[in-house]
Amino acid sequence: MVTACVLPVTEANTIQGHWATTPAKVSLHVGDFDPSEVNAIQAGGASWNTFFQASKSFNMFDMGPPGGGNISSNAQSTPTCGSGTLADGTVLYKRFSNWTHNAAAIAVTTTCFTPNNNGGLATIFNAIMEFNYVNFYVASAGRFPDMQSIAVHELGHLLGLDHTCGPLGRPNQAKPFTACPDVNADPNNPVIATVMFPQVFFDPSGAGEVKQILTADDQGRANCAYTPGN
């Protein structure tokens, strides 16, 4: 396990911010997720909590009671960035229609930041997480991502990490200094194994890859987001 801040030069610009206090509360929108999905999302949170407990002695996320989670009736279409942290924390939603993001995105976490004028990391104070049930998870889409793997990835964004590599030049986000490796030409590149790699692969049946274990890269960068002074 990596317990120090380790930030590769190629990923020096990939930490977007951090929460000022932990654990950050995560709630599920009422009626959206079935029990198996709740369990998978909570298991994704447990991956980060187990790591942060060992590395920093705190839980990163408050995922609510096992098997049920924190429940919210908030009906946000975008995060509330004009005020402070909501009592329900970050709310997770299924989107069955009106998906307004890139159709190739399985899920999107949108965060609100307060800049640090002293040069440290911005502070995250609100967010929402949306799962794309228009283009994924449903029979008509034919692609079924592993929910726990997606939850680990999106919760990585929620704690303040951007992807481990490009695509480059996305507006208003931290930008990796390097494009992602070609998975066909360089399949053993360790960046591909990270939970924060931006691409998900599917087998011929439409089942998504399983990627639930934090790599040294994921752990080292997560430590950097919660190093004293940031």
Decide if 56 contacts 4 (C-beta within 8 A): no
pLDDT in tens, 123-153: 999 999 999 999 999 999 999 999 999 999 9
pLDDT in tens, 92-116: 999 999 999 999 999 999 999 999 8
Decide if 129 contacts 108 (C-beta within 8 A): yes
- With 0.75 as the threshold, say if the pTM is over it: yes
CATH of 9-225, one of 3.30.43.10, 3.40.390.10, 3.40.50.970, 3.90.1210.10: 3.40.390.10
Per-residue pLDDT averaged across 163-170, rounded? 70
In the chain, what are the domain boundaries? 9-225
Q: Is residue 4 scored above 50 in pLDDT?
A: yes
